[in-house]
């Protein structure tokens, strides 16, 4: 028997830095007429500091707990697009919750595309001056990212095109 899957009312957009999570999430939420929340922005608002400052002053473990709390506060909502920091769903409990409660979309891009996108952005806490450090982090996280939800390559795509791909895999229309 072929049962029709119930359409998701929660989309969680994750992936490595520079893959387009936040800009795509905002556009997707607008198209669907849903709410959009970004865990990094919520963490910054709750601390009154940038992600980079939180990392520097309180450390990565503190930040990871903070983003997990932010995510847990959002996942109970319906008709919501949640964009996460690149490390949020690396926590197995958070990933399990995301998969159980919504549809996880993992964005990725080629190394060349990431270098192009990230070369101008020094505000990211894990982005050091040497791009080799970024690639090392990507290689460490890649096996975990590949296990996360629907995979969408954003290389060479506009946020509009990425939204179209997300809507196609989720069965949603904006």
pLDDT for 49: 95
Cα 166 to the center of its chain, rounded Å: 13
Q: Which residues pair with 11 in a beta bridge?
A: 81, 103
Query: Could you say which of 3.30.465.10, 3.30.70.580, 3.40.50.300, 3.40.50.150 is the CATH number of the domain covering 10-168?
Result: 3.40.50.300
Average pLDDT over residues 40-52: 93
Average pLDDT over residues 68-76: 94
125 φ, ψ to 5°? Answer: -65, -30
Single pTM value for the model: 0.89
Cα gap 63→84, rounded to integer Å? 13
pLDDT for 16: 94
pLDDT for 1: 35
Residues shown for the chain: 174
Average pLDDT over residues 35-56: 94
pLDDT for 123: 61
pLDDT in tens, 102-130: 999 999 999 989 888 887 665 654 455 57
> What count of other Cβ atoms lies within 10 Å of the Cβ of residue 161?
13
pLDDT in tens, 132-170: 888 898 999 999 999 898 999 999 999 999 999 999 999
């Amino acid at each position: 028997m072929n049962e029709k899957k119930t359409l998701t009312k929660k989309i969680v957009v994750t992936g490595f830095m520079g893959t387009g999570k936040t800009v795509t999430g905002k556009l997707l939420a607008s198209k669907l007429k849903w709410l959009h929340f970004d865990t990094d922005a919520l963490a910054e608002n709750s601390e009154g500091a940038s992600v980079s400052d939180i990392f520097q002053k309180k450390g990565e473990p503190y930040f990871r707990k903070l983003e997990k709390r932010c995510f847990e506060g959002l996942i109970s909502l319906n008709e919501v697009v949640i964009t996460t920091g690149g490390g949020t769903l690396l926590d197995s409990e958070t990933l399990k919750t995301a998969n159980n409660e919504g549809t996880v979309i993992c964005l990725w891009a080629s190394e060349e595309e990431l270098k192009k996108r990230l070369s101008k952005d020094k505000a990211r806490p894990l982005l050091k001056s040497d791009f080799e450090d970024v690639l090392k982090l990507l290689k460490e996280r890649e096996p975990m990212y590949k296990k996360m939800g629907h995979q969408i390559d954003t290389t060479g795509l506009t946020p509009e095109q990425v939204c179209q791909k997300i809507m196609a895999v989720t069965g949603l229309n904006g």
